[in-house]
Amino acid sequence: MLLSVDWDYYSGTVEHTFDAPIWGSRDREEDRVEAWRARARKRGGADWEVLAEDFPLHGDPTGLSRYMGRPTFVAWSHASAWAWLERFPRREVVNFDSHHDLYSSSGDPERVRPGNWAGLALKRQLVTRYTCVYPAWHENVRVAEGFDLGRTRGEIEQARPDVAPFVALSRGDALPPAESVEAVLLVQSPSWTNPAHDDVFLDLASRLDAEELTAPYRRSFNERF
């Protein structure tokens, strides 16, 4: 089994944070850096720490250290996931993520992007089965995909009836045991994750000796990336 972990599983938000990217965000350079500066300034801050209340680090990502010794890869976007999947084709994938990544409602549906990499991988039989595990904090954020699994399941079945039979959804599951995981992918998703948590993400990738598929961001409040 292959394990994918999107950092937005941990670096998230809380209910009624109306400028949170979970309400919908594009994925342009300004969304990855400048939009976060704007959120901090709106809260009267001159650094990332002012974001902590509305954009906390949920759970304990240090639990991922159990995968030390497993082949691990890191990317800033799930658009790079196919470079990982092609090294381990025809496997089951479990993705800990705030989004199911099965389809996007805009753009070219046949081009691999962060929002559709999993659905295209199923369609083209690069992946055999796919489980999206939503974070436990989605239970308290009504706009989140993982708040109502039945609703989200119905949306997937309507939009992607071809791949829906091979998809499972859950929320708040424990990380799988190391012996069941063949390889790991860590994805930063900077448009959706608090820059204050970059160091935790990068330290984790270093501890797991992750091979870079694309270089993650280390975002500074004052310096241009």
Query: 166-225 pLDDT, tens per residue?
Result: 999 999 999 999 999 999 999 999 999 999 999 999 999 999 999 999 999 999 988 654
- Using CA atoms, how far residue 213 sits from 82, 117, 131, 224, in Å, is 10, 15, 22, 23
- pLDDT tens, position by position, 104-136: 887 777 888 889 999 999 999 999 999 999 999
Rounded CA-CA distance 31/25 in Å is 7
Q: Which of 64, 105, 94 shows the shortest CA–CA distance to 202? A: 64
| Percentage of residues in the chain having pLDDT higher than 70 | 99
Contact indicator for 175, 63 with CB cutoff of 8 Å? yes
